[in-house]
A and B are shown apart, each in its own frame.
Chain A
Amino acid sequence: MNPKLKELYNKIKKNGLTPEQEQKILLELYDDATHDFPDESSGAPQTGDEAFRTTSQNIYTYNDLFNLQAITALQSTHNVSIRSIDELLERDKQREKDGFPRKINVGRLIKPGRGGRDKVVVVPSTVEEKFIHDTSLQTEEEQPYGGSGDGEEGEVIGEQPIRAPDVQGGTGPGQGEGGQHEIESNAYDLGKILTEKFELPNLKDKGKKRSLTRYTYDLTDKHRGFGQLLDKKATLRKIVETNMHLGNLTDISDLDLTRFLVSPKDLVYRILSREKDYESQAMVFFVRDYSGSMAGKSTVLIVAQHVLIYSWLLYQYAMQVETRFILHDTEATEVPDFYSYYNSKVAGGTQVSSAYRLVNEIVEKENLVRDYNIYIFHGTDGDDWDTDGKESLPQLKQMLTYTNRVGITIAEHAHGKTNNSEVEKYLKKSGLLEEKKDLLRMDVMQEDADEPRLIEGIKHLISE
């Protein structure tokens, strides 16, 4: 166990804890996992063999094409499907107008690679609803499997680590499904789809503008006498003006154009000129809680939502988005790329304040406020050892002084009571949510939330 953590724990304990809180903290404290990346080579369960990875196979998943002829790979070509996704979404909109609920989900699959080669794969998906039996009453644990071979009744024949979802973290949401209808696309496209089809709000005021050392040339300046393009309307106006001064135009009802004089100075041209380009630019901090309690679904959910937010901002700011990735347990660190952000395993305790402090430090040190619109999105399961936010709240308040939006997502654990996490409680208590409504948003969802819920959450986090 980490002695530093132990010390921290003792300190917190002195301040008083409910048994429930203490239990949560202890759970993380004694968890000796580390924040490694999943080891790709040892993805297999430690003792179990191949057989234990195929257990979820139902008899109906077997098929001749694969089993006899090993025919599988069905990759759709990219441009065929990208057209169909627009059609599909168009159709979906029409459904709503016809009075039926929408049916298309745009699932996305992130395949982070090192060195910023993240791929977002858009998978349009749907469900055909029917009356079918719900087997989920039986938990997975209870569900019996078939088996064959030696072994007495009661004998353990194999093991599978329960941290499995984390081991496979590399593929993330919709893991391994690589179905035939994937559409490779970059985050920008996804952002476009999100904005247009899911009606995520467009940013009205994009805040401060920052000049870039970039020039564009355009026919914007006007010049009399010579130039590249005759501006006919302006020229005519000029001619009329001159002739009015000359007294050639006295009665509008009796125009005699033959008496009009045209001076060379009256010709107005448009002329090519250098323009300075102003663009607004965003800096997004993605902050993720990777403490031990974040194992499993909550992490997947948070990361998925962050990808969607990132895509949306990328579209809103016309690619002018920079990202910073912060991970925190009791201490916060900045990681260089999305790969590390996405793949780092969960472990350790939780102190939200550490992350907020780090964000504040970075912003101050690099003087980001001047040049950027700053967004901070924080994902957590709501646990915080700092149970009443004594340390986090001041940091949060400081953040609110410069940021365009702070969005906090809490993915609640299914087993806990709802609306009862520490972070949520102290945020509500602080009154900041009402006071700074335009700057601070919170979204609380269950860890089994689906995609529409995610997008709903994003709408809430970023709406004006």
Chain B
Amino acid sequence: MELIDQHTKKIMEGCKERARNAGLWFQEESLEYIVTNRDLLELTPKLMIPTLYDYWVHDVEVLKEKGRYELYPSNPYETVINTRPAISFYNDNNPDWMNVMIFYHVLAHIDFFQNNLYFRHTWDYDFTGQALSDKRMIAKLRSEKGRWVDYVIEFVRGIDNLVGYHEELSRRNRRPKTKRSKMLDYYFDVFLQSEKNVKINEYIKEIERYNQCINESKALGEKTFFAEVFKKYPEFDAIFKKSLQEKFDQKLDLIQYLLEHSEFLKKEKNNWMKPIIEVVRKTSLFFQPQIRTKIMNEGWASYWHERLFLQDDRIEGHEVDFARSHAGVTSMPRVGLNPYALGMRLFHYIENVADKGKYSIKFRRLLDTKQREEFDAKTGLGRDFVFNIRENLNDFVFINTFVDQDFVNRYKLFVAGRRLNQAKRVLEYYVKSRKAEDYRQMLLDGLYHPPHITIEQNKSNNGNLYLMHHFEDKPLVKEFITNTMLGIEYLWGAPVQLETSEVVQIEASKPQLTIPGLTTPIKEEKKEKEIKWQRVRYTMKNRKLSKEVIASEDRSQKTEDK
């Protein structure tokens, strides 16, 4: 890998200046490298992080068919990585005008990385530097422990999509602890409000009583206050203690829980595994925000490279080249989804709407279509508004909040369906719906979403680890369960159980043999497919998996084939 030449670097610096003037914010330094195919060969398995730890899976083709993006929340072909300084990669024969466009795109990405709050936990350190020291640590361990290092990596990677990314973020944004006692906080904030649902005047009475107690005696006030409480709510003490425990456990994701509580890892001879486990977890956390902001991030970068390129005086004469290239990247496909195109349009749309002041109560109160159409408060705040969005939202909120009917209409978006036409022996694509809610739902369904699996402490007994899959109408991939649980069992050192839901049976649609040219009815029949779910429990014990049905669920789901 080679740094770009001085000439190109100068172009980059020019881009930075213009981007800053336009309102983007990013750190001074950045590194730009020319990559050859050989470099890419090494970089892509390592997710473009040159210093990522070595692992044999990086050397083989990983099967992609099944849930590629569910498995790997990171894009192996990113041009810019979220490090300090940010590093970006280029072809060595890009013409200058094209580099200008790419630089703007890259700078907008860097701006996004360094301002979007979902990346908050990546701001305080340089990932490549950290990764390098981790890589050395793992290499050293590998020279001592051999292949067992790779087993540990493998088993932790098996659960690295369950990292508590949102917990990590929430921990960062938690307000500093109050000086008051936890019991007091719990009593007023949770117990009275959620558990007892007391009326407001009673609540205020309690506060007054507390203040009175404190006034009477600073030291013993709280005690006397709670003496009364215990009398009034004898159950309070127990509930409070239980809440303490819950709180404590909620904080830990599966990997952390293993680190904290696994008898196997606690053993002296297995101590070396812990740092490896930490590394895998940290790496996963690092990539989490990336996949959760794909549409926004690419949309934001496309939005800015378009805007800034057209204002750049250095590239006059290349407007047509740019137009062609830009259209290639950001055109809406007839069928399919392009995050660049969608995100960019949504930012444009939001800016426009915000400029007119339509995100306001005043506008929302309007019922008349014509008035709504012509509404324009000329706030001029559109730009601020989109900057705000890039700072505070992720894909889910972005789409859920801003994809509305006007947006769908304006860009002629629709949900496309696909069906078999027996007569013509073709698959037909058709316009299924132009409703905003359908389009939004289609987008949301496509977003990255790992299963929600928690540790059930009260069901874990005799040293077993009990995992609860909170079912969201999507079962787990069955073939993967065995090996994943095998890994967890290894790290836990005792049997592991997983409770999840599975399909009882899908009523097999009869093999519809149709005879082309004959008189068999070709029209699609509407058939109802009934899916019944049952709750099952897998147990991994001594590397053997067993399964038992614990309850069949009533909630049968009906889907209609259209």
Contacts and interface: CB of A to CB of B under 8 A. Distances in A.
A131 B151 contact: no
B336 A146 contact: yes
Interface string A59-97: 111111111111101111000000010001001001000
Contacts of B337: 57-59, 145-146
B476 A133 contact: yes
B151 A179 contact: no
A135 B68 CA distance: 12
Contact of B79 (A68, A101, A124, A141): A68
B562 to A, nearest CB: 8
Interface in B50-80: 56-57, 59-64, 66-72, 75-80
A163 B426 CA distance: 8
Nearest to A69: B91
Contacts of B185: none
A131 B476 contact: yes
Given A73-B37, A99-B543, A125 B161 contact: no
Contacts of A62: 298, 338-340
B57 A126 contact: yes
Given A71-B40, A148-B332, A127 B63 contact: yes
B561 interface: yes
Contacts of A161: 425-427
Specify the main secondary structure of chain B where it touches its partner.
mixed
B147 interface: yes
Contact of A65 (B78, B151, B342, B511): B78
Contacts of B160: 130
Nearest to B430: A156
B531 interface: yes
Contact residues on A (Cβ < 8 Å of other chain), bracket = 35 or more
Contact of B515 (A23, A49, A127): A23
B80 A64 contact: yes
A146 B415 CA distance: 5
A142 interface: yes
B98 to A, nearest CB: 8
A163 B427 CA distance: 10
Given A30-B518, A129-B483, A134-B478, A123 B336 contact: no
Given A99-B543, A161-B426, A131 B484 contact: yes
A52 to B, nearest CB: 6
Interface stretch (B172-180, B203-211, B315-323, B441-449): B441-449
B451 to A, nearest CB: 5
Contact of B335 (A69, A128, A145, A415): A145
A27 B513 contact: yes
A76 B59 CA distance: 10
B147 A94 contact: yes
A435 interface: no
Contacts of B78: 63-65
Contacts of B431: 147, 151-155, 157
Interface stretch (B266-274, B352-360, B406-414): B406-414
B417 interface: yes
A419 interface: no
A157 B428 CA distance: 7
B308 interface: no
Contact of B41 (A123, A126, A177, A180): A180
B548 to A, nearest CB: 19
Given A74-B37, A100-B486, A130 B480 contact: yes
Given A133-B70, A137-B531, A159-B426, A145 B415 contact: yes
Interface in A359-373: none
Contacts of A75: 37
B94 interface: yes
> Interface residues of A: mostly helix, strand, loop or mixed?
loop
A74 B44 contact: yes
Contact of A23 (B35, B66, B432, B513): B513
Interface string A333-371: 000000000000000000000000000000000000000
B474 interface: yes
Nearest to A68: B102
Nearest to A47: B426
B488 to A, nearest CB: 10
A426 to B, nearest CB: 21
B162 interface: yes
> Which residue, of A26, A46, A84, A145, has the highest number of chain B Cβ atoms within 10 A?
A145
B77 A160 contact: no
Given A126-B63, A130-B159, A130-B480, A146 B340 contact: no
Interface string B103-144: 001100100000000000000000000000000000000000
A133 B335 contact: no
A181 B411 contact: no
Contact of A157 (B109, B335, B424): B335
Contacts of B76: 63
Contacts of A142: 559, 561
A54 B426 CA distance: 16
A158 B342 CA distance: 21
Contact of B60 (A94, A156, A181): A181
B515 A30 contact: yes
Contact of B94 (A69, A84, A141, A144): A69
A54 B517 CA distance: 31
Contacts of B295: 59
Nearest to B88: A64
Interface of B: 35, 37, 40-41, 44, 56-57, 59-64, 66-72, 75-80, 89-91, 94, 101-102, 105-106, 109, 147, 151, 154, 157-162, 291, 294-295, 298, 301, 328-329, 332-340, 342, 411-421, 424-434, 438-439, 442-443, 445-446, 448-451, 453, 469, 472, 474-484, 486, 503, 506, 511, 513-518, 531, 543, 559, 561
Interface of A: 23-24, 26-27, 30-32, 45-49, 51-52, 54-55, 57-71, 73-76, 84, 88, 91, 94, 98-101, 104-105, 107, 123-135, 137, 140-163, 177, 179-182, 413, 415-416
18 contacts: A59-B295, A60-B294, A63-B76, A63-B79, A126-B61, A131-B162, A132-B161, A132-B476, A132-B480, A134-B475, A134-B476, A142-B559, A146-B443, A148-B332, A148-B413, A157-B335, A159-B429, A180-B61
Given A124-B61, A133-B472, A146-B414, 10 more contacts: A32-B517, A46-B426, A60-B291, A67-B340, A70-B91, A71-B77, A88-B59, A101-B483, A131-B484, A133-B477
Q: Which 6 A-B pairs have the closest CB atoms?
A: A415-B511, A64-B79, A63-B77, A147-B416, A129-B480, A51-B334
